[in-house]
Amino acid sequence: MRRHTEMKLVGRDGMNVAFGNRFCGSAGGPWLVLAAAMLWGTTGTAQALAPPASTPVAIAALRMSVAGLALLSGSLWRGGIQLRSWPVRITLSAGLFIALYQLSSFWAMNATGVAVGTIVAMGSAPVFAGLLEYLLWRRTPERRWYLSTALAFSGCLLLVLDSGNLQVEAVGVLVALVAGFSYAFYTLLMGLLVRRQAPADATAAVTCLGAIFLLPLLWQCDLQWLIQPNGWLVILHLGLIATALSYWLFAKGLAGVKTSTAVTLTLAEPLVATLLGILVVGERMTMLVSCGLVLIFAALALLLFPATKRSAGQ
């Protein structure tokens, strides 16, 4: 029997969450996280196809609502969510942090621009994830994680520099850091949750809570654009595919991946978004973009293939 070292987190809910190498050596986990990130990469292209009257805040609230309803329906169809011994505080916190991530990322982009807001939020998330793992469990990421994260961040930076539209505002950068922390903490909390509950049920509960936290924002939004075919089609795609399905894949993958590794793997999102922008929207493929894509691809390969090879040999 393969030995593994367990680490426990004892929370105020009275729950003990066991961690071990057996959770981090699965070959399937990283690929599920990567699949989720690829689906998230379709978000930008989908929003570009939405009616001009749509707003990012309205789209975020609507996509979470559609995803929450879809995931909840699936859980009810399978027999319902088992509430007995459910870690309530972790679930509430995960719902709060995914909603906070949605809000802070949009506020950061409005304050300091899409380019700077995106690179600060996405670039800081892996760093926060690594710090959280160390502070909570004294667990340091593997050496290849540092190289992979550096490569992925450099690639994202090249993609941002190619836009040529850079403006730095201190408040916007601070809010972007909040977004990065929120995403990292959400990932950590979901990692705890899927070790106690079925990934589908955990995703349904957290997504529904996130939608509830975001719904009040819709009262100030003009939603007449939803009448148009490209309006409701975009929301259906974002809600069912880019949120419900992707969040389920992400949660299922987290059962076999460290938090820090998972967050770095999701930097595949800008790679997919850039490729779709070139193929669908008609954006240019420049030298900076090419170099950025190569760096991100190399970062993902560094995390994926050694893990797969090592797991196959066990």
Taking Cα atoms as reference points, which of 56, 54, 47 lies closest to residue 224?
A: 54
pLDDT tens string 248-297? 999 999 988 888 899 999 988 888 888 888 887 777 788 888 898 899 99
- Asked whether residue 12 is assigned to any structural domain, the reply reads no
Q: Is the pLDDT of residue 309 over 60?
A: no
pLDDT tens string 219-241? 888 899 999 999 999 999 999 99
Q: What is the mean pLDDT of the chain?
A: 82
Start-to-end C-alpha separation, the chain: 11
Question: pLDDT tier at 14 (50, 70, 90 boundaries)?
Answer: very low
- Asked whether residue 303 is assigned to any structural domain, the reply reads yes
Q: Is the dihedral of CA 133, 139, 143, 144 positive or negative?
A: negative
Question: Which two tokens mark 292?
Answer: 């950025």
- Asked whether residue 8 is assigned to any structural domain, the reply reads no
Question: pLDDT tier at 69 (50, 70, 90 boundaries)?
Answer: very high
- Asked whether residue 135 is assigned to any structural domain, the reply reads yes
Looking at per-residue confidence, does 137 or 7 come out higher?
Answer: 137
Looking at per-residue confidence, does 20 or 233 come out higher?
Answer: 233
**CB 210, CB 98: distance < 8 Å:** yes
- Asked whether residue 53 is assigned to any structural domain, the reply reads yes
Four-CA torsion 182, 186, 188, 192, nearest 10 degrees: 150
- Asked whether residue 13 is assigned to any structural domain, the reply reads no
Question: Which two tokens mark 59?
Answer: 């789209």
- Asked whether residue 202 is assigned to any structural domain, the reply reads yes
pLDDT tens string 162-173? 766 666 678 888
**CB 185, CB 96: distance < 8 Å:** no
- 3-state secondary structure string, 266-301? CCHHHHHHHHHHHHHHCCCCCHHHHHHHHHHHHHHH
Residue keyed to tokens 């998230």: 40
Residue 26, pLDDT score: 52
Mean pLDDT of 3-21: 35
Mean pLDDT of 173-179: 90
Cross-strand pairs, 8: 18
- Read off the amino acid at residue 167: Q
- Asked whether residue 16 is assigned to any structural domain, the reply reads no
Q: How many domains does the chain have?
A: 1
**CB 271, CB 293: distance < 8 Å:** yes
Name the residue range of residue 160's domain. Answer: 23-312
* Rounded percentage of the chain residues whose pLDDT exceeds 90: 39
Residue 137, pLDDT score: 83
Residue 18, pLDDT score: 38
Predicted model pTM: 0.81
Question: Which two tokens mark 277?
Answer: 């922008």
Q: Is the pLDDT of residue 20 over 50?
A: no
Other CB atoms within 10 Å distance of the CB of residue 47: 17
Residue keyed to tokens 């809600």: 239
